[in-house]
Amino acid sequence: MSPIFSTLVDLDSLLGNRMRLIIAGGLGLYLKQVYLEKTGTRTLVKLDRWPVARTTEDIDLFLPAALLVSRDDFAQIRTALDTLGFAEVESAKHYQFVRAGQRGKVKVDVHIGPLGPYGGHNHAGNDRRARPKGKHTGLHARRTDEALGAELEPFPIPLDGVRSDGTPATCEVHVPSAFPYAMMKLFALRDRLDDPDKSLGRHHALDLYRIIAMLTEEDERLAGELALRFRHDSHRIEALRIARELFSTPESRGSVRLREHPLAPGDFSADWLRTELVRLIDGPPAPG
């Protein structure tokens, strides 16, 4: 079994009684795609029009903001990472961890969404990170304030695997719904368009197509609720601007980046993707 999936069941065995595992990033999309293909769940775009599922060596672990209330929970997550042999990445101390092994490398990136009512429990001093007040636990979470609703009704996915010690295990992981996923990927695409070390954002552009293609009826329902809930949030408004700008025409920068990806659909329509992204993030008209 791939070391990244062994790590997921390992983390669940160590943390499952304290928190549900919310997995974002490329791995979360991979898990959702494989599950939807297996179950035949109805989606906006038929399965044969999806890009090939791609996994990654990165685990983007999303913490609910409510964990800031509990220093013990943060400490337990750090203890779990230490137990599994992860070491801090020097350039991203306390929120990025890596473990190298014979079967490959696994990296864990710890994120947290908008702090909301739990902002008062955050240790002041750095608006890019979050950690509980009080004695340092050795764990920070990278703030991802655009991930509106990432911890609300995440998509559950059962996972059968094998722990690192060779014992079989079953667990359940969760991935954010389409609304926060699209928010995160739009911001990531905007920020990486000119970054050659990140493939100029091409994989983020492809992931936006993938998110829309895999929309389920439940994604649509929840997106409508979240769009109303965060109607006046500046991040939602900025995400709409990004979608309209980067996919306004076939020659817009987001459209170009998507076409440049080798897994992009050959007949991709910028107008269609922009329309669907705006529909997802804008939601129904505000009442009244």
> From CA 21, how far away is CA 61, in angstroms rounded?
7
Average confidence (pLDDT) per 10 residues, the chain, 288 residues: 89 88 96 96 95 90 94 94 96 94 88 94 83 92 97 95 89 97 98 89 96 98 97 98 97 96 91 97 78
Q: What angle do CA 196, 2, 159 make, to 5 degrees?
A: 110
Phi and psi at residue 9, to the nearest 5°: -70, -30
**β-sheet bridge partners, residue 175:** 155
Query: Given this model, what pLDDT does residue 1 score?
Result: 59
Report yes or no: 18 and 193 within 8 Å, Cβ to Cβ.
no
Per-residue pLDDT of 274-285, as tens digits, reads: 999 999 999 977
Residues listed for the chain? 288
> From CA 262, how far away is CA 202, in angstroms rounded?
9
Handedness of CA 188, 19, 66, 131 (dihedral sign): negative
Per-residue pLDDT of 108-165, as tens digits, reads: 999 999 999 999 999 866 778 999 998 889 999 999 999 999 999 999 999 998 898 8
**Tokens matching residue 155:** 């998509």
CA 230 from centroid of its chain's CA atoms: 18
- Identify which of 51, 2, 59, 3 has the alpha carbon closest to the alpha carbon of residue 26: 59
Check residue 164 and report its DSSP letter: T
